[in-house]
Amino acid sequence: MVAKEVRSLGVVGKTEGQETRISVFPEFSHALDGVEQFSHLIVLYWFHQRDGEQERRTIKVTPRRHAGAPEVGVFASRSPSRPNPIGLCVVELVRVAGSDLIVKGLDAAEGSPIVDIKPYLPKADFIQDARVPEWALHGPPT
C-alpha cells in the first residue's frame, strides 16, 4: 500500500516565554470548534529541519537528551532523525485566539508544519503503570 500525501494544516509560530503560537490555516479553522473545552492537546508536527535523505535513513541513535542512554533503534527513541520525521507532543492549551492556539510545552521549532491536532483524553492516553527503561526516566519530559 502506498502512503497518501500528508498535508500541513498549520505552522508553529513564535515562542514567547513558555507560550507558543500555533497558527492553523484558515481552511481548517472550523476544525478547532470545541477544542477550547480541553486543557491539553496532542500536537503532531513535521521535523522539517531533519527531512533530508541522511536523516530519513537513521536506524540507530543514542538519545542525546538522556544522560547515559545506550544506542537504541530509532523507534525506541524520540529522535527527530527518523524514516518519517513526525514529532508528537502533549501540550497545555492556554487559549484559542481565532484560528491560533496558544500552548505551553511544545518542543517543535518555529516554522515546523503542523500535521494534526488531537484532544488529550486521560482515559485513552494515560497509562498508569507504563514500563520504560531506566535511561528514559532521566532528561526532558519529551
Tens-place pLDDT, residues 88-105: 999 999 999 999 999 999
The alpha carbons of the chain give a radius of gyration, in whole angstroms, of 16
The pLDDT value given to residue 142:
64
Residue pair 100/17 in contact (Cβ under 8 Å)? The answer is no
- Please tell me the predicted confidence (pLDDT) of residue 135: 87
Q: What is the pLDDT of residue 19?
A: 98
Domain ranges of the chain: 8-47+86-121, 51-84
Q: For 8-47+86-121, CATH number?
A: 2.40.30.70
Q: Which residues of the chain fall below pLDDT 50?
A: none
pLDDT number for residue 2: 77
For residue 85, the 8-state DSSP code is -
Amino acid 65: pLDDT: 78
**Residue length of the chain:** 142
At 70, give phi and psi (nearest 5°).
-85, 170
Cα–Cα dist 38/121, whole Å: 9
Inter-CA distances, 131 with 9, 55, 90, 135, Å: 33, 28, 19, 12
pTM equals 0.89
> Smallest Cα–Cα separation from 93: which of 39, 142, 43?
39
